[in-house]
């Protein structure tokens, strides 16, 4: 029978705990980054389209050229906003579905940050990737 010293087993156990804790911290930081980005994107889009101001103002659908210009303007603003979170539009679009699929992590993060929770809940999430409309931000 092989005897494994207790200190060796204890060392492996502690190492596993430390690595698990590091993994959780990274995940929590990523959740925070994406939640903050989504809040800021939602607020930016609500401000951009408030009162129909950027949508033509008169309730009329903009021309295709105006739509292209709006798309460029929104992407420029979105790139700038996401850069403050060390993200690109592509990274955000690629990883946000998996981050926001973990509702327990999102709710846990928001419960620790009541000010962000209030802002998050005020967003029209049906247009932010949870419904069939919108661009999935």
What is the residue-level pLDDT of the chain in tens, covering all 137 positions? 556 655 555 555 545 544 443 344 347 789 999 999 999 999 998 888 776 655 555 667 778 898 899 899 999 999 999 999 999 999 999 999 999 989 999 999 999 999 999 999 998 865 455 443 333 44
Q: Check if the beta carbon of residue 137 is closer than 8 Å to that of residue 128.
A: yes
pLDDT at 19: 47
Residue 34 burial (CB < 10 Å; 0-12/13-18/19+)?
A: buried
pLDDT at 125: 63
Alpha-carbon gap, residue 87 to 101, rounded angstroms? 19
Longest Cα–Cα distance in the chain: 85
Query: Which of the 8 DSSP states describes residue 126?
Result: G
Buried b (16+ CB within 10 A) or exposed e, 70-98: beeebeeebeebbeebebeeeebeeebee
Tell me the two tokens of residue 62.
């903009």
Distances (CA, A) of 1 to 4, 122: 10, 63
Closest among 108, 86, 91 to 27, alpha carbons compared: 108
pTM (predicted TM-score): 0.68
What are the backbone dihedrals phi and psi of residue 63, each rounded to the nearest 5 degrees, phi first?
-65, 160
Q: Check if the beta carbon of residue 7 is closer than 8 Å to that of residue 15.
A: no
pLDDT at 82: 96
């Amino acid at each position: 029978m092989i005897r494994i010293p207790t200190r060796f087993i204890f060392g492996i156990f502690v190492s596993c705990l430390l690595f698990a804790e590091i993994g959780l911290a990274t995940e929590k930081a990523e959740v925070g980054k994406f939640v903050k980005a989504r809040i800021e994107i939602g607020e930016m889009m609500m401000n951009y389209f408030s009162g129909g101001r950027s949508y033509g103002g008169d309730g009329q659908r903009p021309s295709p050229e105006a739509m292209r210009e709006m798309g460029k303007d929104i992407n420029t603003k979105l790139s700038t906003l996401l850069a403050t979170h060390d993200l690109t539009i592509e990274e955000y679009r690629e990883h946000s579905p998996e981050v926001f699929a973990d509702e327990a992590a999102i709710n846990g993060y928001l419960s620790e940050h009541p000010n962000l929770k209030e802002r998050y809940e005020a967003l029209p999430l049906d247009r932010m990737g949870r419904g069939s409309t919108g661009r999935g931000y």
